[in-house]
Structure formats: C-alpha cells, structure tokens
C-alpha cells in the first residue's frame, strides 16, 4: 500500500492495521471500508492488511468504474 523507506512509517502503518481489528475509527479501517463496492475490493483489502502496495492502475480503473456506475444510476433515476 505504501512505498517508503521510513521504518517509523512502516511501524505506524502496522500498528494502525492492528488497531483496525477492534476500532473502526482508525484510518486503516476507514480506508478498508472505502474499498467496499470496488470490483477488486477483496484484493485491495488484502494488500492493505499485508502492508503491500495496492496496484494503482487497477485501483484507478475500479474507482472510474464505480463513479461511472453511480453517474448512470443517478441519470436513470432523474428521468
């Protein structure tokens, strides 16, 4: 999820990921919830939990798809 040479940053990320298992207010729990509804949601969550990089191209494509789907639904409902 994060590409950094900072050991401190890695430790903070891992601590926050641990905290997410019992506190939904931490940022990693909120990011995990934001992945819901994406086509590759499970993979993104798994990558985040393992503290590995999320493939940005797939993530961007999923965001575009979700955005276009929501726009289409709104357009259909407006008619």
Largest CA distance in the chain: 53
Q: What is the count of structural domains for the chain?
A: 1
Q: Which of 29, 27, 34 is nearest to 66 (CA)?
A: 34
Residue 28 counted as domain residue = yes
pLDDT tens-place string over residues 40-60: 999 999 988 887 888 889 999
CA distances from 66 to 33, 41, 53, 70 (A): 14, 11, 21, 6
Q: What is the mean pLDDT of the chain?
A: 85
Residue span of the structural domain in which 23 resides: 7-78
Residue 45 counted as domain residue = yes
The model scores a pTM over 0.85: no
DSSP state of 21: T
Residue 21 counted as domain residue = yes
Q: Indicate the pLDDT class of residue 62, thresholds 50, 70 and 90.
A: very high
């Amino acid at each position: 999820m994060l590409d950094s040479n900072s050991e401190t940053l890695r430790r903070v990320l891992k601590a926050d990921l641990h905290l997410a298992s019992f506190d939904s207010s931490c940022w990693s729990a909120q990011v995990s919830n934001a992945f819901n509804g994406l086509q590759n949601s499970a993979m993104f969550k798994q990558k985040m939990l393992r503290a590995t990089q999320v493939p940005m191209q797939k993530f961007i494509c999923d965001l575009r798809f979700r955005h276009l789907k929501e726009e289409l639904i709104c357009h259909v409902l407006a008619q």
